[in-house]
Amino acid sequence: MLETALANPLLSAATAVTRPVETVTRLWDMRVFRRELRRPPCPYEVDPAWERHLHEHLGAAWPCPFCAEVQALWPQVLEPLKARGVDVGPDSFRGWNDGDPGLVRAIWCLIRHQRPSRVVETGVARGFTSRFILEALSRNSSGRLWSIDLPPVDRQAQAEVGMAVGDLYRDSWSLIRGTSRLRLPGVLKAVGRVDLFVHDSLHSERNVRFELDRVWPALKPGAAVVVDDVDVNYGFRSFTLSRAPAAALVCEAEPIRPDARRFNQKGLFGVAFKPEGGPSA
């Protein structure tokens, strides 16, 4: 993101004039993110049976019949973008990744089993994860998604934001543009109770903790937070140690091609459940 800004000084200057607070927030967050990258990787312990354990926590059968829905839907979402010449997968959207099948499957099963009414997501990019969330809500015949996304500086990238959703599900999707630091508190105030939260915005510990610490009091007991790319920072680890969730899983991602930037060529994501009947904070 910072490289894009430096390569487009006129666009950066225009953004600074029209959205000065957002610009300062964006640059400061990137500075902190770069400083955090100097730390050694967080030693997460991966659960190789995370899908079975996820369903055991939900009280749902395993193998899960809903997983087949994701498998059938995946090419329907992917192929139209590829037909338009869009590169998908790791490091394909200005250094960021599209949602991978493992992450999407976890979110899909959470929605299909728990039937959330209010889903909040940070980070959209091309909208792979957003599309699957909206499809799952549609199959449940209820629910709404609020997505917060910081628009890229590059105008071509801006045009790709949410393209996997397109004009579908506009009646059940609210796309809020800006940083989560500026927009998330207002969204939480408007939404009230949150039934599922997905973090996929800037992957710094500072940002992960900001989002999770604010969402947790609004999260329905028994509901989940899903955090993508937990291996990039210590945020998921420090959060789960401080909050003692009912269950926390560290899961291996399934990118459609190897991600050379990751220690395992795949990456990790995490799922944590708020205790039933526990404290709200």
Is 257 part of any domain?
Answer: yes
Task: Specify the 3-state DSSP secondary structure of 149.
Answer: strand
Is 167 part of any domain?
Answer: yes
Q: How far apart are CA 135 and CA 129, in angstroms?
A: 10
The pTM score is 0.89
The confidence score (pLDDT) of residue 278 equals 57
The residues with which 234 forms a beta bridge, in sequence order, are: none
Residue 192 has pLDDT above 70, yes or no: yes
CA-based R_g, the chain, Å: 18
253 closest CA partner among 39, 107, 138, 153: 107
Instruction: Give the domain CATH number at 100.
Output: 3.40.50.150
Percent residues over pLDDT 70 in the chain: 90
Q: How far apart are CA 259 and CA 83, in angstroms?
A: 23
Is 264 part of any domain?
Answer: yes
Is 168 part of any domain?
Answer: yes
Range of the domain at 145: 46-273
For the chain, the domain total comes to 1
Over residues 36-55, mean pLDDT: 93
Percent residues over pLDDT 90 in the chain: 66
- Which is it for the CA torsion 184, 230, 23, 98, positive or negative? negative
Q: What is the pLDDT of residues 5-44, one digit of tens each?
A: 333 333 344 444 456 777 777 787 888 888 888 889 899 9
* Chain-centroid distance, C-alpha 15: 25
Strand bridging mode 247-252 / 268-273: antiparallel
Q: Which segments of the chain are extended strands (E)? A: 118-122, 144-149, 173-177, 194-199, 219-228, 247-252, 268-273
CB 145 within 8 A of CB 174: yes
Amino acid at 157: A
CB 211 within 8 A of CB 199: yes
At 1, the pLDDT band (50, 70, 90 cuts) reads: very low
CB 44 within 8 A of CB 237: yes
Is 41 part of any domain?
Answer: no
Is 7 part of any domain?
Answer: no
Amino acid at 249: L
Is 173 part of any domain?
Answer: yes
Task: Put residue 179 in one of left, alpha, beta given phi > 0 → left and psi -120 to 50 → alpha.
Answer: beta
Is 268 part of any domain?
Answer: yes
Q: What is the pLDDT of residues 252-276, one digit of tens each?
A: 999 988 888 898 999 999 999 999 9
